[in-house]
Chain A
Amino acid sequence: MTDNVQAFLGRYAGKRSPMFWLVIKTSLLTLLTVGIYRFWGKTRIRKYIWSSTSADGAAFEYTGTGTEKFLGFLMAVVVLAVYLGIVQMILFYFGLTIFSEPTTQAEMIAQIGAIYITLFAVMPLIFFAQYRARRYKLARTRWRGVRFGMEKGAGGYVWRAIVYYLLTAVTLGVLTPLATFNLEKYKADRSWYGDARIEQHGKWTALYRAMIHPILGVGIFLIGMAVLGATKLADLSIVLLIVGYIWAMVGVVSYRVQSFKYLTKNKLLAGKITFDTGIDTGTIVTTLILGSLVMGIILAALIFGAGVLVALSAEALIMMLGPVSLQIVLGLLYLMALLFSGALTMAWVTQPIIEHVVGSIAVYDHDDTLAAIHQREADQGADAEGFADALDVGGAF
């Protein structure tokens, strides 16, 4: 390593109030357009988040458009309409041909359950959509005027994801690090910033350190079960079960945070640019709990207020406009509650987490490598997340 190192520190400048009203505004428009505005709404929210994210004073830019997302969705509908309709029906038919007369409740439930297994027909498509969505997001992200990008490779991702997740399921989660590491490596190694490649280094076994808390949680839970089975100590076993359950839940968050940390620290850009992150499990868990609490309180207060108002005016409403009017008012209130909880979650939970993650990241440029990185070709990104949208894949934004 040479002496010429320049550090770029991540900073997130987004604020709660503009984010809250942006989400309210876009969700209202989405509602009024029976869902069609969602493509433009998602775009506007991303533009806000990306422009709030900066390193060395240069903000990121999101260049995706609502129109291309809508077009991508329409294309995905054509493909999926044919695939889902036909495949689901054929699988259902074969589900029927293995039916026999049920004699017990359990058998009956198992057979009805078997029919829902047809839902697995969409699993390959979901992995496909995940990869394509990440590729689209990268292709529409710029920093310092230079595009990010990702190579084509959704097909290879699909079978790898199926194999690794099956291995994870068969080993009851013991091989989770193998799946996490190799799938991230597959995606990272195909990612670019301009003409510079990103590489994922490190070993999958190193992620076992991050597995400590989920394993401890499950362990305590199992001991609780054993105590319940072997002795009559109901109090002790209940305490163990609750502690184990909460520990495992927090452990899952901890695993995601710690594996993100390890994977980020072991990434390399253009062979010379390194990354670091001080992301902290405690901060994330606290944000999740406190944010949800604040959100819950605001929402409960709003629902209570609205409930009182409706209760007071219900009789008058029914008298004047008939019983249907009350149902309409309640329906509208339900939609409002949905809308508010979405906006509150974004402003009080999701955005603070983004803020922490972005603020924790540092990029180290050695020997002015960054300034020499060149622009890459624009990626037309055929479906622009259309599959992900149609299949409901993807997170909060």
Chain B
Amino acid sequence: METPRNQAKARLFDGETAQEHRVILNALHRDQIYVQISGDTLDTPLEWPVKDLRALRDQSDGSRLVLSYRRDTDDEAPRDPARLIVTDPDWLAWLHVTHDDLFTRDLHKGTWRKVITRSAMAVAAVVLMLFVILPRMADTLADILPIERETAFGKSVTAQMERFLGGKTIGALHCSNEKGQAALERMMARLSQGADLQYDINITVFDHEMLNAFAAPGGQIVLMRGLLEQAGSADAVAAVLAHEIGHVESRDATRGALRSAGSAGLLSLVLGDFSGGTAVLLIAEHAFQASYTREAESAADVFAIEMLNKAQVSSDGMAQFFDLIGGEGGLELPEYFSTHPASDGRAVRARRNSDDQDVTRPVLSESDWQDLLTICD
């Protein structure tokens, strides 16, 4: 490799003081090639091996190089703290052309091991929190929360839901036709016969076309008008009601609220903020929520089937209802992403149960069922 014939002027900061040194560069051939740096303000000339020279990366000024050399130090990168600023065109050309390692990144020993152990620790901490500690804490806290507080919270959630669905004031969407109310109470009385419920169940029907029902904390159950109209039979509505009572009894909504209070902040922390990060966050949170609510859904199904059996209501209505919602919605999501377990399997389970049921009676008389359908009129 040919070294530049001429000396060059350069500036040096020695890494020990803020003093600037005006220096002269020479190329030295010995066992290897060195850059010799000498100047009036330096006690002795410095000699840096050329193969260890490193230049700073991502610099804005292309007409100069800021050099240091590779050496084990306490610095962020294994570099000598001194800095040599070269602007001489011949020297720049020589360094650029002949020196492949000029912009090499060097890592301290053990960096990779650190990256791997810390990544493992971070993943372990997050997984432990999300899947072990936070769920346990949520279960415990949900159990010790006084029922009257839970009920108050549930009413607040229901009111918020009502506002979200377009109700201008609290109670604006409540359906209160007297005959319909009476029919609903008869259905509830039939279902709760012999069942030992720890909550006072408070059922509300919302005047909304959505095919949906939900259980808020503390025994608050909401059915939508759309569900009554499309369910097809009183038995199907009873099955949905029993399913929601299952959620109430196992405090699923309260547990879920507590869990998401803990996990929401945690997930946003891990995924950070980058372009499109919010979208990823929403998907991740949904997938996460879904994965643990699916268990709760299955448990509520089991509860509902038992309740129907005890009340001698055929679970055939339940099977029909699952057939109905199985056909709903265009976009098919994989089971992991949907909150409810795949409806086909649920319908099969309900139908198999109905085959084994002995004596069943319709949950409501035909006239009561017609009354219930007019609850929003």
Residues of chain A at the chain B interface (Cβ within 8 Å): 13-15, 18, 22, 27, 30-31, 34-35, 38, 44, 47-48, 51-52, 58-59, 61, 63-65, 67-68, 70-71, 74-75, 77-78, 80-82, 84-86, 88-90, 92-93, 96-97, 99-105, 108, 111-112, 115, 118, 122, 140, 142-146, 193-194, 331, 334-335, 338-339, 342, 370-375, 377-378, 380, 389-392
Known: A144-B19, A373-B18. 8 other contacts (CB 8 A): A47-B59, A74-B121, A81-B269, A82-B129, A97-B149, A101-B155, A108-B163, A375-B17
A122 nearest in chain B by CB position: B265
* Residue of B115, B122, B273 with most partner-chain A CB within 10 A: B122
Question: Given the complex of chains A and B, what is the CA–CA distance between A372 and B75 in angstroms?
Answer: 22
Contact B18 A103 (CB under 8 A): no
| A68 CB to nearest chain B CB (Å) | 6
Interface residues of B in 141-157 (CB under 8 A from A): 141, 145-146, 149-153, 155-156
What are 9 pairs between A and B in contact, CB < 8 Å?
A48-B59, A71-B114, A78-B121, A81-B122, A144-B13, A145-B13, A334-B276, A338-B275, A371-B19
Question: Given the complex of chains A and B, what is the CA–CA distance between A47 and B83 in angstroms?
Answer: 15
Task: Evaluate whether A51 and B59 lie within 8 angstroms (CB atoms) in the complex, with A85-B263, A86-B262 already known.
Answer: yes
Contact A375 B137 (CB under 8 A): no
Residues of chain B at interface, number, CB under 8 A: 76
A332 nearest in chain B by CB position: B276
B165 CB within 8 Å of chain A:
no
B50 CB within 8 Å of chain A:
no
Contact B269 A391 (CB under 8 A): yes
Contact A13 B276 (CB under 8 A): no
Question: Given the complex of chains A and B, what is the CA–CA distance between A188 and B205 in angstroms?
Answer: 62
Across the interface, which residues of A come within 8 angstroms of B73, CB to CB? 378
Residues of chain B at the chain A interface (Cβ within 8 Å): 11, 13-20, 56-61, 66, 73-77, 81-83, 85, 107, 111, 114-115, 118-119, 121-122, 125-126, 129-130, 133-134, 137-138, 141, 145-146, 149-153, 155-156, 159-160, 163, 169-170, 257-259, 261-266, 269-277, 279-280
Contact A97 B145 (CB under 8 A): yes
Task: Evaluate whether A85 and B262 lie within 8 angstroms (CB atoms) in the complex, with A108-B159, A108-B160 already known.
Answer: yes
| B254 CB to nearest chain A CB (Å) | 8
Question: Given the complex of chains A and B, what is the CA–CA distance between A242 and B75 in angstroms?
Answer: 54
Contact A371 B18 (CB under 8 A): yes
Question: Given the complex of chains A and B, what is the CA–CA distance between A34 and B277 in angstroms?
Answer: 8
Contact of B58 among A51, A82, A90, A391 (CB under 8 A): A51
Contact A48 B133 (CB under 8 A): no
Task: Evaluate whether A75 and B60 lie within 8 angstroms (CB atoms) in the complex, with A82-B125, A373-B18 already known.
Answer: no
Contact B265 A18 (CB under 8 A): no
Contact A74 B275 (CB under 8 A): no
